[in-house]
Amino acid sequence: MYDEPPMSRIGALIGSPARAFMLTELFDGRALTATELANVAGVSPATASEHLALLLSGGFVVREKSGRHQYYSMASADIANALEQVIAQTANVNLAAQPVKRPRLPIQNARMCYDHIAGHLGVSIADALVRNGTLIALDSDYELTPKGEELFERLGAAPTVLRKSNRLFARQCLDWSERRHHVAGVVGAAIASLAFEKKWIERAKERRVLTVTPKGKRDLKSIFGIEAW
């Protein structure tokens, strides 16, 4: 008798539509209550608790108590990135075979993927940083060039501080809606933090969705050469 392969256990955990909805809702890095996640998944609070117990035991989410409430969040950025890759690789869309170009949905335009920017905006930022010599692509990662270190230092995100993190530094994360890479890891998180701090982006009413502010349109064009909508 062989032990069950880890892959089969992982598949069972994320194979439930209710649990998949819950995990997707936690992709932006924020914490939600069991009641909020039950509403997202369309299940009863009791059923949601059962699903969350499985996700906890599988290491996909963590739980934190604050006052009378218990909050659930994604266990780590690595878990979020891994799930994003599953979505990217298995999305049931053949973009090349579509004869009509459909307008992007807001979540495809710009969204948070755990702690970094994804969607068309995230890919545009990654492309611009490579194009202007700020980043270079190395295998499955990016690396900051001396020009990039100067830019990040000027923007207020010191590379010496970023490199002290135990997380992946600058990961190429395959975007499920664009089928190209955006920047994840410490550098991706730093870009998102700068974008919020400098009011280039703000959260929309829809969860995870981002909008670019008028200031963001000006600054993204002048600093990165990005034409944001």
Residue recorded with tokens 């539509």: 17
pLDDT of residue 91: 56
- Check whether residue 124 and residue 11 sit in a common domain: no
∠197-218-118 over CA atoms, to 5°? 60
pLDDT of residue 213: 95
Give average pLDDT by consecutive 10-residue segment, the chain, 229 residues. 59 82 82 88 88 90 85 85 72 48 75 90 94 91 94 93 91 85 94 96 87 94 82
Structure tokens at 102: 């459909």
Residue at 229 is within a domain: no
pLDDT of residue 116: 92
- Check whether residue 93 and residue 161 sit in a common domain: yes
Q: How many domains does the chain have?
A: 2
Largest separation between any pair of C-alpha atoms in the chain? 63
> How many CB atoms within 10 Å of residue 221?
13
pLDDT of residue 99: 43
Which of 59, 75, 91 is the endpoint of a domain? 75
pLDDT of residue 102: 56
CATH number of the structural domain spanning residue 39: 1.10.10.10
- Check whether residue 208 and residue 110 sit in a common domain: yes
- Check whether residue 66 and residue 84 sit in a common domain: no
Structure tokens at 10: 């992982």
**97-135 burial string, b = 16+ CB within 10 Å, else e?**
eeeeeeeeeebbbbbbbbbbbbbbbbbbbbbbbbeeebb
pLDDT of residue 122: 95
- Check whether residue 19 and residue 61 sit in a common domain: yes
